[in-house]
Amino acid sequence: MLIVMQSQASEDKIQKVIDFIKQRGFDAHISRGEDHTVIGCVGRKIIDKRDIELLDGVKEVIRITSPYKLVSRVFKPDDTIIEVNGVKFGGTHIGMIAGPCSVETYEQMDVTAEKLYKSGVRILRGGAFKPRTSPYAFQGLGEEGLKILRKVADKYNMAFTSEVMEVNQIPMFLKYVDILQVGARNMQNFNLLKSLGEVRKPIMLKRGLSATIEEWLMSAEYIMSGGNREVILCERGIRTFENMTRNTLDISAIPVVQKISHLPVIVDPSHATGLRDKVAPMSKAAVAAGADGLVIEVHNNPECALCDGAQSLYPEEFAELFKDLKALAAVVKKTF
Amino acid sequence: MLIVMQSQASEDKIQKVIDFIKQRGFDAHISRGEDHTVIGCVGRKIIDKRDIELLDGVKEVIRITSPYKLVSRVFKPDDTIIEVNGVKFGGTHIGMIAGPCSVETYEQMDVTAEKLYKSGVRILRGGAFKPRTSPYAFQGLGEEGLKILRKVADKYNMAFTSEVMEVNQIPMFLKYVDILQVGARNMQNFNLLKSLGEVRKPIMLKRGLSATIEEWLMSAEYIMSGGNREVILCERGIRTFENMTRNTLDISAIPVVQKISHLPVIVDPSHATGLRDKVAPMSKAAVAAGADGLVIEVHNNPECALCDGAQSLYPEEFAELFKDLKALAAVVKKTF
Amino acid sequence: MLIVMQSQASEDKIQKVIDFIKQRGFDAHISRGEDHTVIGCVGRKIIDKRDIELLDGVKEVIRITSPYKLVSRVFKPDDTIIEVNGVKFGGTHIGMIAGPCSVETYEQMDVTAEKLYKSGVRILRGGAFKPRTSPYAFQGLGEEGLKILRKVADKYNMAFTSEVMEVNQIPMFLKYVDILQVGARNMQNFNLLKSLGEVRKPIMLKRGLSATIEEWLMSAEYIMSGGNREVILCERGIRTFENMTRNTLDISAIPVVQKISHLPVIVDPSHATGLRDKVAPMSKAAVAAGADGLVIEVHNNPECALCDGAQSLYPEEFAELFKDLKALAAVVKKTF
Amino acid sequence: MLIVMQSQASEDKIQKVIDFIKQRGFDAHISRGEDHTVIGCVGRKIIDKRDIELLDGVKEVIRITSPYKLVSRVFKPDDTIIEVNGVKFGGTHIGMIAGPCSVETYEQMDVTAEKLYKSGVRILRGGAFKPRTSPYAFQGLGEEGLKILRKVADKYNMAFTSEVMEVNQIPMFLKYVDILQVGARNMQNFNLLKSLGEVRKPIMLKRGLSATIEEWLMSAEYIMSGGNREVILCERGIRTFENMTRNTLDISAIPVVQKISHLPVIVDPSHATGLRDKVAPMSKAAVAAGADGLVIEVHNNPECALCDGAQSLYPEEFAELFKDLKALAAVVKKTF
């Protein structure tokens, strides 16, 4: 930590700051500039920088060690590659996940899965427990949904992912799912993250609507610090003032995260934009920018979907898009 | 719901939209303007407006019924007044809650509570389970913290509030606390909200960092729809581009919420600004704008606080502030 | 305009609203739903919708006609293609503009232009008048810079664009430049926009840092309403809470604008991200998403650039990137 | 400037950074911590910190000197008090400015001014040149408006302020107005700011919709660096994701600015909220938080206002509010 003193700070004030940090177990390195004296605060203890900022004569306190450890490239320089059912996320590999927003019936999942399988998809998605803004909206089929997903996935030799909403649900999810998804609204549900650290299946961690990249990585740190090293980060749009799209898909988060962290980062263009005709361009943008995977909503009959049909692709649209994405991947030297 | 057709929409397209909504159980009222035909979609069913927006010839679909019912002034025109330990929130009453960020020891709480009691405070606050961005930071004393809070509160005939983070913790909280607090990061933890709907103690619901006022009210609706009518809304700052304060306290949310809803809305200036010297001006601003209460962090020894000492007031500062706040309250015709 | 009355609005209040709008020259169409009476307000006059919202019994007023006319696809369904020096923007054409942030010397521009020309660039960029946040920072060479740009451009048969900051400067700019650029901070400098409406050269209109897409299109409307039909829209990042990149490049603005408007929309990845190593992935994302052009900062010697060297590509990096972009363009069926 | 090296940075890389900054005229102070070597970069030259950030082995570069000089309390510790027509802004003084959004007719201004005068107002406001998002909206009366304002102000011994939109208009404004207002959209119109630095009348500088406090102060620095020391800062709401109010009034900007700068900071609650019934609570909040003044829109007949009638108070409402504000001011030890 670096403590920048005000330009007119007296020797007395400087000494008091030094005493303060020494009492708390830190060493002090003093460096005098033309305008400002800077005190390097060296040590392994944890201290709230604002506590120092409130001392007399202090202009600013600057943290210089990153708050994340296990998620960082400093800790692990090579890309983490996560493999599920033969599909790889990370490095030069782009993984594809597709399926409807919600599981509605066995027939719906069966028809959709068959078509997706033929397009080359090997990991399904589908919500069984749905976080809905309104208590009066469809809340999902619950465990019955997970059973349907498992049955259909097995029929086509596919894996699947579904969103877990609560610590209590984890044992049930472990019976069925291949990847546990943490939704945007639960990105800072720290109890859930801690419990998922003890799981030994991959976690797909969605970025919160207003989460900074640093906070998102800290949430991954929670999971990793529990011992689970398989975290897939998923960008799904952030909240901004613009309201022509549901959220603003932060495509630049892809290269930013890839520089700081070794974890794979994938993109959900369906929830980010909320509109079917924006899914294809944003999927292409994600792949061109170097994304390690995509999660795309596809429904066999979007007009009748119980949830988010408006942002779901028709299976035929998806098949067409998947071809284009493979061609784009080749240009950026990656493969699905 | 109103469906606005594009200006050049053909009769055929208009008819298809009418058929679409009739099949889903709605009635259609057609109104032809100079530029646009508007179809009123009348009925009690739920439909995702984007499903209609994707039909050919549709320009825009506008929802006209409010999504909230029980929280709304249409449902209950009079102010809800919530009383805890003789302290009232709502109507012309302003309730005060004060205490440290975290419970650290019995002595700390005892000293702080005694001083606050003498200032006139009758409801304490204190965190026992702490949601922290980093897995390596102090996470609170847990149940031991709740026991300390209860013991100290009883000693001074005070009530107290503390944050509950998970469904599992609710039975434990009910043994000790008087008001259950839902933190900003859990504002859309829908499972938690549903469970709190079954509780018969007041809930203090903090606004999420990037929650719209509508989403915040919908979260209160979750609690109320479970049967719990005592919800205190708490504004605590929203995330914006400005970073000179930790968050931007949205003071205008006070009159906005009070117009739409009958529920009391209080303000937490400590977390919003993150800095001690901003707490007094923002507390005053909140009262002047008509807030129904305040939650203020006070610590007997902020320099040694384990958490958020930088935003905690000294007990003497608080006592001074409380006097000013009472004088301001009189001007806006309210009383503590 | 649609006026939605409150659910309990009396007949008397409804009548008063009808009288109010009729007095202002509008017709009223009444439609009664289960919950709400809706009054269609039909006519060509302009009225501030908030004036009606303040009337007794009114719940909400909804504008249904778009505020823009000339920029809209309703007015002109076909893509506007703007051609400068053989380079086309719009339709299936992607135009490339490249060059340094600021013109510094004749030699710098000459070396840079030669290398860019060899890469296939035909339009240069370069700032002569620089809008700088600090009054103490380098403000550009002024008219001298424009002369250098013209001389160098002529030497290589290239065109160029440069930013105009003020109405007074327009005649001077017309002597030298091929495309006049309006910077993000001037997007709502309405006097400047009006004056540029009278110009008969293309205008590149950058999106303001916090401008909604609607406001951006309205600024284009200002220029077009003056008679200038050649407006190139340029997305360059919006201000959000995320600060790991200078701004958040809103890639989804590309398909959103292309649906509403016939004007070409290009992307400036250099200013959006502010960092050299993010320029390539974001350029690729823009092309994959369907952008009609790019403006990329390239400097022959970025370490010595007087301005924004940190976000400028080396000429060799740019040449490499341009090749990749052409390959990506082919996949999305467009050409440079 | 402090240069933080990566934890694994080699001696060779550290030396290259030192050479780099020495070549550019800086001194280097090296300080070695447990994890990071920090290089203090000392000197008076200007350098873009990103240029250093791109060097091998550099983790982060931190600027420690403030970018503003003349606006800072370091430069001038005492509050600047600006007096216009006997009304003071700054220190313990709160100045009041009131009037309609736009000047429409002599009669309108005369009636409004008379009523405001009786309430105790001594400075009028009124727009003659209006920045409007749409080219088709009412653009103001122009110079005729300024003449009306002058005539009416003189009749009642009042001063007035009006918005100047362009460098060209300054000489005309100097003939009529007492305070020149710079609108939010022009906060970074640097040519305008520079020209206003040469003026010897007070400038009211509105904060841009998405301007950080630092950028706002830098714009004031532009004016002051030209020699004009009378700048009144005006907070008028920032753009956030919340859309129940037009903008989010950033009340916390008041104490934040007052700590950093000696300039007075006033508040415009009318434009911030956009709704009449929110003007009173937000005006009160501003005064309670310590604002040095207010600008409030008042119209003798808001229903017929050509612009922003919806946010204008009736003269009687204003008179009532002004009384309450004076009572609140007394509590925070300030006076109107």
CATH of the domain at D260: 3.20.20.70
Single out the residue in B27, B62, B97 at which a domain terminates: B62
Look at residue C140 and tell me if it is in a domain.
Answer: yes
d(CA A124, CA A161): 6
- D49 compared with A243, residue with greater pLDDT: A243
Look at residue A68 and tell me if it is in a domain.
Answer: no
What residues of chain B lie within 8 A of the CB of D267, using their CB? none
Give percent above pLDDT 70 in chain A.
Answer: 96
Please judge whether C4 and B43 are an interchain contact, meaning their C-beta atoms are less than 8 angstroms apart: no
* Closest CB to B209 among A131, A210, A311: A210
C80 vs A: CB within 8 A = no
* Closest CB to D241 among A4, A31, A240: A240
d(CA B197, CA B230): 9
Confidence of residue D77 (pLDDT cuts 50, 70, 90): very high
Please judge whether B64 and C4 are an interchain contact, meaning their C-beta atoms are less than 8 angstroms apart: yes
Confidence of residue C117 (pLDDT cuts 50, 70, 90): very high
Please judge whether B137 and A46 are an interchain contact, meaning their C-beta atoms are less than 8 angstroms apart: yes
C86 pLDDT above the threshold of 80: yes
For residue A54, the model assigns a pLDDT of: 78
Min distance D140 CA to chain A CA atoms (Å): 29
Give the highest mean pLDDT range of A60-64, C39-43, D239-243. Answer: D239-243
What residues of chain D lie within 8 A of the CB of A32, using their CB? 29
D304 pLDDT above the threshold of 70: no
Give percent above pLDDT 70 in chain C.
Answer: 96
Residues A198 and A277 occupy one common structural domain: yes
Q: Are D311 and C50 in contact (CB under 8 A)?
A: yes
A252 vs D: CB within 8 A = no
A307 pLDDT above the threshold of 70: no
End-to-end CA gap in chain A: 43
**Residues whose CB is less than 8 angstroms from the CB of residue C248 and which lie 6 or more positions away in sequence, other chains included:** A238, A240, A248, A250, A252, C237, C238, C239, C240, C242, C272
Min distance B44 CA to chain D CA atoms (Å): 26
D32 pLDDT above the threshold of 90: no
What residues of chain C lie within 8 A of the CB of D173, using their CB? none
Residues D29 and D149 occupy one common structural domain: no
What residues of chain B lie within 8 A of the CB of D278, using their CB? 252, 255-256
Stated length of chain C: 336
For residue B2, the model assigns a pLDDT of: 82
- B305 compared with B260, residue with greater pLDDT: B260
Confidence of residue C307 (pLDDT cuts 50, 70, 90): low
Q: Which chain D residue's Cα is nearest to A241?
A: D241
- B2 compared with D84, residue with greater pLDDT: D84
Residue B119: what residue type? Answer: S
- pLDDT of D169-205, one tens digit each? 999 999 999 999 999 999 999 999 999 999 999 999 9
Mean pLDDT of D217-224: 96
Look at residue B76 and tell me if it is in a domain.
Answer: no
Which of C235, C236, C247, C251 is most worth mutating to test chain A (most A CB atoms within 10 A of its CB)?
C251
For residue D306, the model assigns a pLDDT of: 67
- ipTM rounded to 2 decimals: 0.90
Q: Which of A138, A160, A133 is nearest to A295 (CA)?
A: A160
Q: Are A210 and A190 in contact (CB under 8 A)?
A: no
What is the number of domains present in chain C? 2
B40 vs A: CB within 8 A = no
Give percent above pLDDT 70 in chain B.
Answer: 96
The SS3 call for residue D310 is helix
B232 pLDDT above the threshold of 80: yes
Give the strand pairing for C2-5 and C58-62: antiparallel
Q: Which chain D residue's Cα is nearest to A34?
A: D42
Confidence of residue A136 (pLDDT cuts 50, 70, 90): confident
Size of interface A-D (CB pairs under 8 A): 65
C8 vs B: CB within 8 A = yes
Min distance C292 CA to chain B CA atoms (Å): 25
Mean pLDDT of B98-127: 95
Least confident range from A197-211, D16-30, D189-203, D277-291: namely D16-30
For residue B239, the model assigns a pLDDT of: 94
Q: Are B135 and A222 in contact (CB under 8 A)?
A: yes
Min distance D135 CA to chain C CA atoms (Å): 5
Residues B25 and B168 occupy one common structural domain: no
Look at residue A69 and tell me if it is in a domain.
Answer: no
Residues D259 and D117 occupy one common structural domain: yes
What residues of chain C lie within 8 A of the CB of D274, using their CB? 50
Min distance A149 CA to chain C CA atoms (Å): 32
Q: Are C124 and C98 in contact (CB under 8 A)?
A: yes
Mean pLDDT of D137-152: 93
Cβ burial A83-95 (10 Å sphere, 16+ → b, else e): ebeebbbbeebbb
Look at residue C70 and tell me if it is in a domain.
Answer: no
C45 vs B: CB within 8 A = no
Q: Is the dihedral of CA A149, A151, A152, A153 positive or negative?
A: positive
d(CA A192, CA A199): 11
Within chain D, residue ranges assigned H as helices are: 11-23, 49-53, 106-119, 143-155, 170-176, 190-196, 213-225, 253-260, 269-273, 276-288, 315-331
- pLDDT of D306-333, one tens digit each? 666 678 899 999 999 999 999 999 999 9
d(CA B335, CA B33): 52
- Two tokens at B44? 């009690």
Please judge whether A243 and C212 are an interchain contact, meaning their C-beta atoms are less than 8 angstroms apart: yes
Mean pLDDT of A247-255: 96
H or E stretch including B132? Answer: none
Least confident range from B143-157, C13-27, D216-230: namely C13-27
For residue B270, the model assigns a pLDDT of: 92
For residue A211, the model assigns a pLDDT of: 96
For residue A306, the model assigns a pLDDT of: 67
Least confident range from B228-237, B260-269, B309-318, D44-53: namely D44-53
Least confident range from B133-147, C208-222, D48-62: namely D48-62
Which of B37, B42, B242, B244 is most worth mutating to test chain C (most C CB atoms within 10 A of its CB)?
B42
Beta strands in chain C (DSSP E): 2-5, 27-32, 37-42, 58-62, 82-84, 87-89, 95-99, 123-125, 159-163, 179-182, 203-206, 231-235, 265-267, 293-297
Range of the domain at A14: 2-62
Angle at A334 between CA A333 and CA A335, to 5 degrees: 130
Residue carrying the six token digits 């980060």: A233
For residue C34, the model assigns a pLDDT of: 66
| A 116-145: CB under 8 A from D | none
Please judge whether C289 and A290 are an interchain contact, meaning their C-beta atoms are less than 8 angstroms apart: no
What residues of chain A lie within 8 A of the CB of B275, using their CB? 50, 54
Tell me D146's DSSP state.
H
Residues D146 and D9 occupy one common structural domain: no
Which of D210, D236, D251 is most worth mutating to test chain B (most B CB atoms within 10 A of its CB)?
D251
Cβ burial C189-209 (10 Å sphere, 16+ → b, else e): bbbbbbbbbebeebbbbbbbb
- pLDDT of C142-200, one tens digit each? 999 999 999 999 999 999 999 999 999 999 999 999 999 999 999 999 999 999 999 99
Residues A147 and A293 occupy one common structural domain: yes
Confidence of residue A228 (pLDDT cuts 50, 70, 90): very high
Residues D125 and D55 occupy one common structural domain: no
Look at residue A76 and tell me if it is in a domain.
Answer: no
C46 vs D: CB within 8 A = yes
Residues A281 and A140 occupy one common structural domain: yes
B306 pLDDT above the threshold of 70: no
Cβ burial B281-292 (10 Å sphere, 16+ → b, else e): bbbbbbbbbbbb
The SS3 call for residue C27 is strand
A119 pLDDT above the threshold of 90: yes
Mean pLDDT of C87-115: 96
Residues A126 and A244 occupy one common structural domain: yes
Q: Which chain A residue's Cα is nearest to D8?
A: A74
Residues A159 and A47 occupy one common structural domain: no
- pLDDT of C254-265, one tens digit each? 999 999 999 999
D34 pLDDT above the threshold of 70: no
d(CA C102, CA C298): 10
* Closest CB to A31 among D6, D29, D65: D29
- Two tokens at A161? 């992912």
What residues of chain A lie within 8 A of the CB of B191, using their CB? 165-166
Confidence of residue A134 (pLDDT cuts 50, 70, 90): confident
CATH code, domain with B34: 3.30.70.1140
- pLDDT of B48-104, one tens digit each? 777 788 788 888 888 776 778 899 988 899 999 999 999 999 999 999 999 999 999
Look at residue D233 and tell me if it is in a domain.
Answer: yes
Look at residue C75 and tell me if it is in a domain.
Answer: no
Residues A193 and A255 occupy one common structural domain: yes
Least confident range from A19-23, B123-127, C78-82, D161-165: namely A19-23
Mean pLDDT of B158-179: 97
B304 pLDDT above the threshold of 70: no
A189 pLDDT above the threshold of 70: yes
Count of C-beta atoms within a 10 Å radius of residue C46: 11
Residue B146: what residue type? Answer: L
A83 pLDDT above the threshold of 90: yes
For residue C119, the model assigns a pLDDT of: 96
Mean pLDDT of C191-210: 96
CA D76 to chain centre: 18
| D 188-247: CB under 8 A from B | 210, 212-214, 238, 240-245
Single out the residue in C31, C62, C93 at which a domain terminates: C62
Q: Is the dihedral of CA B259, B260, B266, B272 positive or negative?
A: negative
Please judge whether C31 and B8 are an interchain contact, meaning their C-beta atoms are less than 8 angstroms apart: no
Please name the chains neighbouring D, where neighbouring means 3+ C-beta pairs under 8 angstroms.
Answer: A, B, C
Mean pLDDT of B207-218: 95
- A18 compared with C294, residue with greater pLDDT: C294
Mean pLDDT of C300-324: 84
* Diameter of chain A measured on Cα atoms: 77
A261 pLDDT above the threshold of 70: yes
Residues C186 and C285 occupy one common structural domain: yes
B25 vs D: CB within 8 A = no
Min distance D275 CA to chain B CA atoms (Å): 10
Mean pLDDT of B205-212: 96
To the nearest whole number, what is the mean pLDDT of chain D? 91
To the nearest whole number, what is the mean pLDDT of chain C? 91
For residue B310, the model assigns a pLDDT of: 72
Please judge whether A8 and D42 are an interchain contact, meaning their C-beta atoms are less than 8 angstroms apart: no
Question: B79 has which bridge partners?
Answer: none
To the nearest whole number, what is the mean pLDDT of chain B? 91
A331 pLDDT above the threshold of 70: yes
- pLDDT of D145-160, one tens digit each? 999 999 999 999 999 9
